[in-house]
Amino acid sequence: MTIHARLTPPRAAMPASAPLLAVLIATSLAGCASTPNARLAAVEGDALPAAQAQTPMAVPAADREAILSMLGEYRVSFAFDETVVLQPNYERKEDKRSGAHELVVLVEDSPERIVLQHLLVGRNGHVTKHWRQDWLWQAEQRLEFSADQTWILRQVPAAQREGAWTQCVYEVSDAPRYCGTGRWNHRYGSATWTSDRSWRPLPRREYTQREDYNALNVENRHTITPHGWTHEQDNSKVVRAADGSTEAVLVREFGFNDYRRIEGHDFGPAYRYWEATADYWARVRQEWSARVQAWGGIRLDTAVDGMPMIVGTFGQAARIEKGEQLNPASLVELFDRYVLPVSASTAGPRAAAGQANMAALPQPKRRCTEAAEPAARQAACE
């Protein structure tokens, strides 16, 4: 197994990145080699039980090449358009457009597992750790969004996982968001991966502004292009009951994120940030992993924005970036306070609220456009 903290050596003579906690505050105010049976799609490989003996299917080299080609320096445009209206008296909401400069670095590269970390670089070198994508070959299990602030490990059927990759996407705090399973298609000259349909929580661009639905049912498609890569989303905006049943589908939405390689933009602050904090974020991932494995899922005892975990982890990372020492117990204490077993029945009023219909939860009325810093705004809105 090869672990990478960065894509290329950090560049010299770059301006210092602003403290991450300041960016996070802006975000909150603005309110993104073993056999296959050894892998759980949502946990770190080192924490898993030993593999069962079997003959593995060879990992296609073209698939790995496609995934790894998403590394690099990009100018990204984000577009989300509501399309098919499915309820009477519902009116399409305004189209959303935004953009950012984003660096994608390699965190882990083993034959059956590839981990990519996204980092936003904003005005004056502000760096914001963005989303993370993990790719698992023929994963037997994956985390699924089952209820408000709740994710459960579920089996991936054998026929579905054969020859397939499961992609799991994680929050800026490395909390889970969603997973999807699908196969790469190389038949038409461009590599394209298409997921099955799966559930995910609302993105920040939505829950900060509306409360008329509480879950997205999504199919994702990644395509490698001559200029970079794209991420298409076929989203259905759903009112989901506490038992997981669908009460109503309001509207469909098409999302299109276009990652185009660029030259000449200063990504040095992001390289330096990741060089300084990669070990800390590895410990964060391990902490999430250990709890998911032990409990078969997790539930966050926070409001829907998950800000206590975001502020807590970003604040600790900022201290490490400045060269301060961090007591390892402080990370465990943060998790103990906000990350719970799915079976916990009495864990405070916020956890109790998570058992109710997500639509009943109060939603913050912040607007993404209020963030002055583009990188912070993007992290808040994606």
pTM above 0.75, yes or no: yes
190 CB-near residues (< 8 Å, 6+ apart): 223, 224, 225
99-111 pLDDT, tens digit per residue, is: 999 999 999 999 9
The pLDDT assigned to 304 comes to 86
> How does the average pLDDT of the chain come out, rounded?
82
Do residues 242 and 357 touch, judged by C-beta distance below 8 A? yes
Is a pLDDT exceeding 60 seen at residue 345?
A: no
Could you list the residue range(s) of the whole structural domain that residue 37 is in? 2-381
- DSSP assignment of 173-202 equals TS-EEEEEEEEEE-TTSS-EEEE--EEEPP
Q: How many domains does the chain have?
A: 1
261-307 pLDDT, tens digit per residue, is: 999 999 999 999 999 999 999 999 999 999 999 999 999 999 888 99
Q: Across the chain, where does the E strand assignment appear?
A: 2-3, 72-85, 96-110, 113-121, 127-137, 141-147, 150-155, 165-170, 176-185, 192-195, 198-200, 215-225, 228-240, 246-261, 297-300, 339-340
Section 124-134 average pLDDT: 96
Do residues 287 and 332 touch, judged by C-beta distance below 8 A? yes
Section 201-205 average pLDDT: 88
The pLDDT assigned to 203 comes to 87
The distance in angstroms from the start CA to the end CA of the chain is 31
Is a pLDDT exceeding 60 seen at residue 380?
A: no
Section 21-35 average pLDDT: 40
Section 162-180 average pLDDT: 98
DSSP label at residue 27: H
The pLDDT assigned to 370 comes to 34
Section 343-353 average pLDDT: 41
The model's confidence at residue 205, banded by pLDDT at 50, 70 and 90, is: confident
The pLDDT assigned to 54 comes to 56
Q: Identify the burial level of 325 via C-beta atoms within 10 angstroms of its C-beta, where 0-12 means exposed, 13-18 middle and 19 or more buried.
A: exposed
How is residue 196 written in tokens? 């099955």
The pLDDT assigned to 55 comes to 65
Question: CA 150, CA 132: separation in Å to the nearest integer?
Answer: 19
Question: CA 348, CA 366: separation in Å to the nearest integer?
Answer: 25
